[in-house]
A and B are shown apart, each in its own frame.
Chain A
Amino acid sequence: MAVLENVYFPKLMKIEEITTENPVNDLKTFKLVFKNQEDSKNFIYIPGQFAELSQIGMGEFPIGIASSPTEKGYLLFTIKKVGSVTGSVHYSTLGDVIGVRGPFGNGWPLEKMKGKNIVIVGGGFAFTTLRSMIYYMLAPENRANFKKITVLYGARSAGELLYKKDLENWEKRNDINLILTIDKAEPGWTKKVGYIPAVLKEISPNSDNAVAIVCGPPVMIKFSMPVLTECKFPDDAIFLSLENRMKCGIGKCGHCSVGRMYVCLDGPVFSQAELKKLPKEY
């Protein structure tokens, strides 16, 4: 019998660029390139999937891929400084080596989104895989596969909005409707002010031939869901990404189990219809 591939063994990547995303400095985007070109070819992913990053010597953590497969040659990860591992990643400098395993998880349901109007609702720093999705849809080779794209993205303050350059570019385009909102008014802010569910209600997206994908903090999800239902989005046209504690990323370690499912293997993206069938352990 052939020796099995070691799924716990990370591939090595180098930090090529570090972007600080917010004034508090606890969100940084890391641009990583594979040390070995071969690995780069084998890393085939779709938006919404995640990877296990290793700060060798400190530990491993799962994180959504923020770059889009249409951006070739590198991967982007936006990491919030939370614990000791992510903290130590924040101390890294250019050229440091980081291990990566993946891509894991199912990703956003591209097949179900084809030919549909897309409504994206994102809040806070959970916007990472949504960036990947938007970037993917806007790529010239893919744009025709999707109809109207509406993006509602909110954060606590203007400074907390991720990917400011991308947002600027998207605002200039006419094939995407980008609505930005912040929780409290700030001097110089000319766009919407208010919590995401309220703004979502205000814009009341049309649910005809539409798919909604939602990613954000639990409170945002809790209050946005009824609004989407009110807008007549059926449960199987709303998709969410879960964030259970994960360790291995491949459905073996058991940490992320919800009912008989493993978030890392069967998810992290689930439709609202699927979630209703699962026990409330997420």
Chain B
Amino acid sequence: MTTIETPIHITNELDHWEPKIITFLCNWCSYAGADLAGVSRIQYPPNIRIVRVPCSGRISPYYLLKSLQVGWDGVLISGCHPGDCHYLSGNLVARRRFAVLKDLLDFFGIEPGRVNFSWVSAAEGERFAKIVRKVVKKIQKLGPIKKLVKENPFQPNKCEAQ
């Protein structure tokens, strides 16, 4: 089913909140980079969930907005470094799109830091881990997402009286 599901929040006994971050990685560089981090046993926080996409150019703004809407606390997007795209220019066109989206989200008041972008190559397992650490720290500071999240239908007809 083509839709983004709500993250399952696992809260421990102390009710300690941990951010859940959805991560879109391009198949050719960043996914391999994350894989390298794994096989090299580089530690990074377990807050991210990875979605593999063919190219960073494939990432539609819908993915990001839907993710935030269903309650993911943050988004991380990563693709090949400029010039390294498997499809030559997918990441460069995507870069423009991300720039606009980033600016618009800032403009609408979504906290800068919820949505993050990076370039990670297949050889940069260490870099991937470092970026994940940085992003997780950033979002931990921001706290759970409140804006753009859909209303809970178990409080029925809240927007009833127009």
Contact = CB atoms under 8 A, between A and B. Distances in A.
A88 interface: yes
A96 B117 CA distance: 41
Nearest to B1: A88
A84 B3 CA distance: 11
Contacts of A91: 1
Nearest to B2: A84
Contacts of B1: 84, 88, 91
Interface residues of B, number: 1
Interface in B1-39: 1
A10 B1 CA distance: 24
Interface in A69-99: 84, 88, 91
Contacts, number: 3
A197 B1 CA distance: 40
Nearest to B3: A84
A6 to B, nearest CB: 14
Nearest to A58: B1
Contacts of A84: 1
A84 to B, nearest CB: 8
A88 B1 CA distance: 8
Interface in B101-119: none
A91 B1 CA distance: 10
A84 B2 CA distance: 9
A84 B1 CA distance: 8
Interface in B40-89: none
Interface in A218-267: none
A252 to B, nearest CB: 18
A235 to B, nearest CB: 46
Nearest to A91: B1
A237 to B, nearest CB: 46
A108 B115 CA distance: 57
A46 to B, nearest CB: 36
A93 to B, nearest CB: 15
Contacts of A88: 1
B10 to A, nearest CB: 22
Interface in A39-93: 84, 88, 91
A270 to B, nearest CB: 37
A114 B36 CA distance: 75
Nearest to A88: B1
A115 to B, nearest CB: 51
B20 to A, nearest CB: 21
A203 B1 CA distance: 47
Interface in A5-20: none
A85 to B, nearest CB: 11
A181 to B, nearest CB: 38
Nearest to A84: B1
A31 B1 CA distance: 24
A89 to B, nearest CB: 12
A197 B133 CA distance: 69
B157 to A, nearest CB: 14
A55 to B, nearest CB: 11
Interface of A: 84, 88, 91
3 contacts: A84-B1, A88-B1, A91-B1
| 3 closest cross-chain pairs (CB), A and B | A88-B1, A84-B1, A91-B1
